[in-house]
Amino acid sequence: MAKFADHNETFSLAGLQQGTFSSVEWVTDLLQRIERSDKTINAYISTDGEWALEQAKAADQRRASGEAGPLCGAPIGVKDVLNVQGQPCHCASRILEGYTSPYDATAVSRLRDQGAVLLGRLNMDEFAMGSTNENSAFGAVRNPWNPDFVPGGSSGGSAAAVAAGSAWAALGTDTGGSIRQPASFCGRVGLKPSYGRVSRFGLTAFASSLDQIGPITQTVSDAATLLTALAGHDAKDSTSLKQAVPDYSSALKGDLRGMRLGLPKQYFIEGMDQEVEAAVRQATEQCRELGAELVEVSLPHTEYAIATYYIIATAEASANLARFDGVRYGAREAGSDPLDQYGKTRAAFFGPEVKRRIILGTYVLSSGYHDAYYLRAQQVRTLIRRDFEDAFKQCDALLTPVAPTTAYRIGERTADPIQMYLGDIFTVTANLAGICGLSVPCGFSSADLPIGLQILGPAFGEETILRVGHAYEQSTDWHVRRPPLWAGTAS
Amino acid sequence: MSDPHQPEIDVKYVAHLARMHLSDDEAEVFQEQLEHILEHVRQLSDLDVSGVEPTAHAVPVHNVFREDAVDASLPHEQAMDNAPQSRQGLFVVPRILE
Amino acid sequence: MSDAFKVSIGLETHVQLDTRSKIWCGCANVFGSEPNTDVCPVCLGYPGTMPVLNREAVRLTVMAGLMLGCEINRYSKFDRKSYFYPDMPKNYQISQYDLPLCLGGGVEIMVDGQPKNIRLNRIHLEEDVAKNNHFEGFSGVDFNRAGTPLMEIVSEPDLSSAEEAFAYLQALKQMLVYGGISECNLEQGNMRCDINCSVRPAAQEQLGTKTEIKNMNTFKGVLRSLTYEIKRQIDVVSSGGRVVQETRRWDDEAGVTRSMRSKEDAHDYRYFPEPDLMPVVLSEQEIEGWRASLPEMPTTRRQRFVDEYGLPDYDAGVLVADKAVADFFEAVARDAGNPKAASNWMMTEMLRVLSADDLEIADIKVTPAALAVLIRLVDEKAINNTGAKEVFAELVANGGDPKAIVEAKGLAQVSDTGALNTWVEEAIAAHPNVVDDYRGGKRAALQFLMGQVMRASQGKANPPMVLQALRDKLDS
Ligand SMILES: [Zn+2]
């Protein structure tokens, strides 16, 4: 399609809004791009092209009638962990084979209400457990910047699709970095809202006290547009807060004068990738040039975060995943009695990482160990929360790397779970504390792999981090760089 | 936490609690990996947490209720659609022995 | 039972709350629907669904706690209790572990005419599970019941006989029905209990090893199973054996408890706070508001019936035993303006009908308003007692309006002096011998003449007026 020849210029909602192209045209083009690029990157588990075009048509009609909001006709991919009525929701697991969802997740229905077009279901680590997107029953996802590398995880499909230009934007979920880290590995923007900002209803729970839904986008401005649509109280999620929802887009103005940005010393550690540290330091300097004052702060319990996170997350997961027993939905393996059947079903259809975490979570809650592990982790969680409360008394937001390294080579970390887990050190803290975090591209390694800057804000401080992210982004050109696999060109 | 040199987790027993059969090979791999993970996790015992309130919820909110009103249920056919096996309007499981 | 042994019984009583909807979702909380029709993604434990707490379930549990003298926890929370079973949609049950809504309290029962307090440990709120149905070669699960609000009332082991356990359950049921907490309909499984029972030599302080009898759903069953189990345990101990701590099942047909070998698996419930539900914080003001709205309890009501309506204590006790009967009585008493007559009708005719046909008062066709009208008709001498009983029988059979029945059956009492005088004169004329007997001092002769008049009037003559007319004629 000729009008998409210069995709770089038109890959934004502006084209829709100005009538340069219709949603049907855009979706048609994207479906072809998905087909091409997914031969290499495997970002989608499934697409429903016919349905996507139907939605696009309806959106075009709505726009023609003059009742369109900013997201009307916007083509979006949805992580396979979110329920969409009439669609499968595998959570990248074999155990949900055959399941068709009878309802829409609240985040999904809010986008649909605005006229957004759902392109398909994005690949991920099984039940959102993983940091590389290698733990998927539907195959690993590849990084569009270099297919020998992982896209990050667990929202690897979401980040890869947005990076490759096979979706305008995507919904991901973040339990310990699963939006921010893949966004960083793929050179895109990822926003993890504060706990309670976006309804979790319809998000297949991994760790209920940590999970949040958020967008992965080309730009900070797109993330703000999506958050405005997604945020707000939902009567179906008791943990979603009744806080007013501002127009986040209107927060994206001005430079950083008058802002104090904290650099937590525990986030610039020995052993981290030199190129990552250099790029992030460079980004902090850039923020200073934009008018921000930089202050060093301390988050003293950071070194305990991984242990705390893996205890709490797996404990909750062990209960959340207990429902997959092959009675009411999903796959089943025959057994001699119900409990034997459960044992066989769960053995046959859960992948190894999921099993490992269920065992760990069951163990830390079990009689005799509950207090030493689970209860203690909840107490340390309090200390980590307090660290942030103290830090935010000294600054408006924090600047850190998203991860200690750039994307891993495929297979590089699969053998040693603990090495894999330690890679989450800079992201799990935000989930434990319930605060918000934004990942923005801030450079490239010598191997041409993206590096991400993390901007952390206090709970319900999304306007602040979006403003910082936007100001920084607009002063660089990292976000307009396109990967070699952009829209499948190198397939 | 107990003696750090003693392998404290019995992976097969814990998997049984979670109703998940493990092959011997799986159990062996998980045993080693989980011991390694627990070794790392044990660092939490270095911290003095006496008197620290546990955090169960990331946000301090309470009294979230719904009013006692009846909403539509799923149509029966739709409720049974996802069942791997159903009979007489019921979800089938192997015979439960009492 | 031998005096050489002491028996300690504690009950965990599960009571379904009388809410309109389930505890976490809007599915109807009703009994008897077709299988799996009152279900939705939430109560089927679908991926991504979340519970939202029904406010009324909290209120009813706290009301029960207030009625039973419990301390209400200002801060209460929900926890996940993990165990795998086909009746559990999520394979964990949302319950309350360390901070239940109610603590302590007690239930008073009568033992040998003396009140005895059975202490409660706690009352917590949780979700009921689904129902398993068993067939040849498979079992089938119906999730209609899953997510019904369920209150668990845990007693201390203060009950010392099967009869006390029975009395405890009756007292509990009476109060819960009074409070509108639950209908406590046993046939519908509104009330079920697990029994903990142990025996020990009378001289021993420490409780003996207990067994648990699970899932009892009739009071009779509790009585019978405990009678059996107590004797079994005493036999074991008397013959030098040891009671094994285990779960047992009551086999109603055989009349014995049996060991459930499948429960060997030690349970490890792995409780932890439910992350999807926020804690419940109750203010003093809210609790006091609920306390003020507590309905009258049976003992108070009984005393009030004595004081306010002048009923004998025994009658008051009979009437308050069943809340619906007591409510019916009060409505009649107020409407008719004659509590004594209302009580008489209830105590004799009404209870006779109820027990003869094994009916609940709600099932009966007589309305309080109708009975009140009937009482007024008698009081106004519009009908006599014989006629009134006939009207009542008709009301029981077909319902309706007493005045219409009186009319239709021609039961109106005749008080018209003209008609009365004619019948009186005819009776006197027809029986001169009897008149002589009367005048000769045989007062009983008057009754005979009275009978003649009543017969002539087909029972409709106003008896006191007939008597007066006869006397006027004969004594003149
Ligand atoms: Zn329901």
Q: What is the DSSP letter of A203?
A: B
**Distance, C-alpha A290 to centroid of its chain:** 28
User: Is the pLDDT at A199 greater than 50, yes or no?
Assistant: yes
Domain contains B70: no
Residue A489 is predicted with a pLDDT of 54
Interval C213-230 mean pLDDT: 96
Query: Distance of CA A304 to CAs A309, A454, C13, Å?
Result: 9, 20, 44
Does position A478 have pLDDT exceeding 60, yes or no? Answer: yes
Average pLDDT of the segment spanning A341-350? 98
Cβ within 8 Å of residue C444, ≥6 positions away: none
Residues from chain A contacting residue C139 (CB–CB below 8 Å): 338
Residue C440 lies in a domain: yes
Interhelix angle for C323-336 vs C298-309, to 10°? 20
Give the pLDDT of residue A1.
Answer: 45
Per cent of chain C over pLDDT 90 is 71
Any CB–CB contact under 8 A between A426 and chain C? no
The 3-state secondary structure of chain C reads CCCCEEEEEEEEEEEECCCCECCCCCCECCCCCCCCCCCCCCCCCCCCCCCCEEHHHHHHHHHHHHHCCCEECCEECCEEEECCCCCCCCCEEEECCCCCCEECCEEEEEECCEEEEEEEEEEEEEECCCEEEEECCEEEEECCCCCCEEEEEEECCCECCHHHHHHHHHHHHHHHHHCCCCCCCCCCCCEEEEEEEEEEECCCCCCCCCEEEEEECCHHHHHHHHHHHHHHHHHHHHCCCCCCCEEEEEECCCCEEEECHHHHCCCCCCCEECCCCCCEECCHHHHHHHHHCCCCCHHHHHHHHHHHHCCCHHHHHHHHHCHHHHHHHHHHHHHHCCHHHHHHHHHHHHHHHHHHHCCCHHHCCCCHHHHHHHHHHHHCCCCCHHHHHHHHHHHHHHCCCHHHHHHHHCCCCECCHHHHHHHHHHHHHHCHHHHHHHHCCCCCHHHHHHHHHHHHCCCCECHHHHHHHHHHHHHC
C280 and C136 in a common domain? yes
Average pLDDT value for residue range A468-479: 96
CA–CA dist A354, C48 (Å, integer): 17
pLDDT tens by residue, A434-472: 999 999 999 999 999 999 999 999 999 999 999 999 999
A411-418 mean pLDDT: 87
Please tell me whether residues C67 and C157 are part of one structural domain.
yes
Count residue pairs from B and C with Cβ separation < 8 A.
127
Span C300-315, pLDDT tens digits: 899 999 999 999 999 9
Report how far residue C249's alpha carbon sits from residue A471's, in angstroms, rounded to the nearest whole number.
70
Distance (Å) from CA B80 to ligand 1 centroid: 14
- Tell whether B73 is covered by a domain: no
pLDDT score recorded for residue A64: 94
Last residue of a domain, one of C366, C392, C409: C409
C57 reaches B (C-beta below 8 A): yes
More reliable by pLDDT, C159 or C423: C159
Q: How far is CA A63 from CA A51, A365, C118, in A?
A: 18, 53, 70
Cβ within 8 Å, pair B87-C140: yes
Q: Residue B77 falls within a domain, yes or no?
A: no
Question: In chain A, which residues have their Cβ closer than 8 Å to the Cβ of B93?
Answer: 327, 338, 341
Mean pLDDT along residues A136-148: 97
Are residues C392 and C436 both part of a single domain? no
Label residues C331-343 b or e (16+ Cβ within 10 Å = b): bbbebbebbebbb
Task: From C409, C442, C461, give the residue that closes a domain.
Answer: C409
3-state secondary structure (DSSP) of residue A223: helix
**Whole-number pLDDT of residue A414:** 84
Looking at the 3D structure of chain B, how many domains does it have?
1
Considering only CA atoms, which of B75, B73, B76 is closest in space to residue B88? Answer: B76
The region of weakest confidence among A66-75, A398-407, B72-81 is: A66-75
Same domain, C402 and C469: no
Instruction: For residues C177 and C275, state if they share a domain.
Output: yes
Distances from the Cα of A14 to the Cα of A4, A10, A54, A74, angstroms? 13, 8, 21, 10
CB contact under 8 A, B79 and C39: yes
The position carrying tokens 């009975």 is C371
Pairing, β A436-444 against β A397-401: unpaired
Catalytic residue among A79, A184, A199, A445: A79
- Give the residue among C26, C24, C20 at the shortest CA–CA distance from C52: C24
- Predicted confidence at residue A2, as pLDDT, reads 46
Q: Quick one: closest CA in A to B18, which residue?
A: A362
Give how far Cα B56 sits from Cα of A308, A428, A456, C29, C275, Å.
Answer: 12, 16, 22, 30, 7
- Which residue in chain B is spatially nearest to C272 when comparing CA positions? B56
Contacts of C165 (CB under 8 A, 6+ apart): C9, C11, C159, C195, C222, C223, C226
Query: What does the pLDDT average to over A18-24?
Result: 92
Instruction: List the catalytic residue out of A22, A23, A178, A194.
Output: A178
Question: Which CATH superfamily groups domain A2-300+385-488?
Answer: Amidase signature (AS) domain (3.90.1300.10)
Question: If you measure from the C-alpha of residue C334 to the centroid of ligand 1, how many angstroms do you get, rounded to a whole number?
Answer: 43
Residues of chain B found within 8 Å of residue C37, distances taken between Cβ atoms: 73, 76, 79
CA dist C238 and C4 (Å) reads: 10
| Residue B29 counted as domain residue | yes
Note whether B80 and A98 are within 8 A (CB). no
**Which letter does DSSP use for residue A460 in this model?**
T
Residue B35: inside a domain: yes
Give the separation between CA A268 and CA A290, rounded to whole angstroms. Answer: 22
- Domain limits at C451? 417-474
| DSSP-based three-state secondary structure for B14 | helix
Residue A126 contacts residue A46 (beta carbons within 8 Å): no
Tell me what the mean pLDDT of segment C240-265 comes to: 85
Of A149-153, A307-311, A433-437, B4-8, the poorest mean pLDDT is in B4-8
Q: Does some domain include residue C424? A: yes
* C27 and C150 housed in the same domain: yes
One-letter amino acid of C175? M
Stated as kind and residue range, the H or E segment containing A294 is strand A293-297
**Beta pairing partners, C149:** C127
Q: Predicted confidence band at C368 (pLDDT cuts at 50, 70, 90)? A: very high
Q: Which residues contact A146 (CB under 8 A, 6 or more apart)?
A: A407, A447, A448, A449, A484
Task: Identify all chain C residues contacting A338, using CB atoms and an 8 Å cutoff.
Answer: 85-86, 139
CB contacts of C25 in chain B (<8 Å) are 71
Catalytic residue among A109, A154, A194, A445: A154
Residue B50 maps to a domain? no
Closest by CA position to C330, among listed C318, C317, C339, C340: C339
How far apart are the C-alpha atoms of A274 and A280, rounded to whole Å?
Answer: 10
Instruction: Output the pLDDT for position B2.
Output: 47
Residues of A in contact with B41 (CB under 8 A): 307, 310-311, 373
Burial class (CB in 10 A: 0-12, 13-18, 19+), B92: buried
> How do residues B6-62 score in pLDDT, each as one tens digit?
558 999 999 999 999 999 999 999 999 999 999 999 999 999 999 999 999 998 899
CA of A92 to the centre of ligand 1 (A): 26
Q: Is A268 touching C (CB cutoff 8 A)?
A: no
Q: Are A126 and A429 in contact (CB under 8 A)?
A: no
Map tokens 């429903």 to a residue: A48
Q: What is the mean pLDDT of residues C171-198?
A: 95
Asked if the Cβ–Cβ distance from B80 to C36 is below 8 Å, we say yes
Beta-carbon count within 10 A of A411 CB: 12
Mean pLDDT of A283-293: 98
Domain with B36, as residue range(s), is 11-44
Q: What is the mean pLDDT of residues B69-81?
A: 97
CB A197 within 8 A of CB A243: yes
Instruction: Indicate if the pLDDT at residue B3 is higher than 60.
Output: no
Task: Say whether pLDDT at C355 is over 80.
Answer: yes
The contacts of residue C467 (CB under 8 Å, 6+ apart) are C446, C450
- pTM summary value: 0.90
Q: What is the pLDDT of residue B4?
A: 46
pLDDT, tens digit (0-9, with 9 covering 90-100), for C131-147: 999 999 999 999 999 99
The arithmetic mean of pLDDT across residues C396-412, rounded, is 85
Whole-number Å distance, alpha carbon A83 to ligand 1 midpoint, is: 17
Q: Which SS3 state, helix, strand or coil, does residue A327 take?
A: coil
Q: Distance (Å) from the C-alpha of residue B36 to the closest C-alpha of chain A?
A: 7
**Residue A240 among the catalytic residues:** no
> pLDDT at position A490, please?
40
The least confident of C113-117, C162-166, C223-227 is C113-117
A484, pLDDT greater than 80: yes
Q: Are residues C36 and C135 in the same domain?
A: yes
Residue C43 falls inside a structural domain: yes
The answer on pLDDT for C470 being more than 50 is: yes
Token digits of residue C60: 């009813």
Within 10 angstroms of residue A64's Cβ, the number of other Cβ atoms is 11
Let me know if residue B3 belongs to a domain: no
Higher pLDDT, A7 or A175: A175
Å from A486 to nearest chain C CA? 33
C58 in contact with chain B, both atoms CB, cutoff 8 A: yes
C108: how many CB neighbours lie within 10 A of its CB?
Answer: 15
> ipTM of the predicted structure?
0.96
CB contact under 8 A, B65 and C84: no
Which residues, at least 6 apart from A263, have a Cβ–Cβ distance to it below 8 Å?
A284, A294, A295, A296, A297, A398, A399, A400
Cβ separation of C143 and B91 shorter than 8 Å?
Answer: yes
The amino acid at A411: G
The answer to whether residue B30 is domain-embedded is yes
**Which chains, if any, share at least 3 CB pairs under 8 A with chain C?**
A, B
B88 contacts on C by Cβ (under 8 Å):
35, 140
- For an interface test with B, the pick among C53, C133, C138, C257 (most B C-beta atoms closer than 10 Å) comes out as C138
| Model pLDDT, residue A4 | 58
CA dihedral C233, C236, C242, C243 (to 10 degrees): -30
The pLDDT value given to residue C359 = 85
> C153 Cβ partners below 8 Å, 6+ apart?
C11, C12, C13, C14, C15, C64, C68, C120, C123, C172
- What's the farthest any 2 CA atoms get from each other in chain C? 99
Nearest residue on chain B to C24, judged by CA atoms?
A: B66
Give the DSSP letter of residue A192. E
Cα gap A485→C166, rounded to integer Å: 76
Mean pLDDT of chain A: 95
Residue A373, chain C, CB below 8 Å: the answer is no
Do C6 and C200 form a contact (C-beta atoms < 8 A)?
yes
- Domain contains C249: no
pLDDT for A487 equals 66
DSSP state for residue A323 in the 8-state scheme: G
| B18 touches A at CB < 8 Å | yes
Select the residue from A312, A328, A340 to test the C interface by mutation, using most C Cβ atoms within 10 A: A328
Compute the average pLDDT of residues A182-205.
98
pLDDT of residue A486: 81
CB A358 within 8 A of CB A318: yes
pLDDT score recorded for residue C77: 98
Q: How many domains does chain C have?
A: 3
According to DSSP, residue A302 is labeled G
- Same-domain pairing of C368 and C393: yes
Give pLDDT, residue C380.
84
Q: What is the pLDDT of residue C45?
A: 98
Tell me if residue A154 is catalytic.
yes
The H helix count followed by the E strand count for chain B is 3, 3
Q: pLDDT at position A491, please?
A: 36
Q: Do A238 and C50 touch (CB under 8 A)?
A: yes
Tell me which chain B residue has its CA closest to the CA of residue C35.
Answer: B89
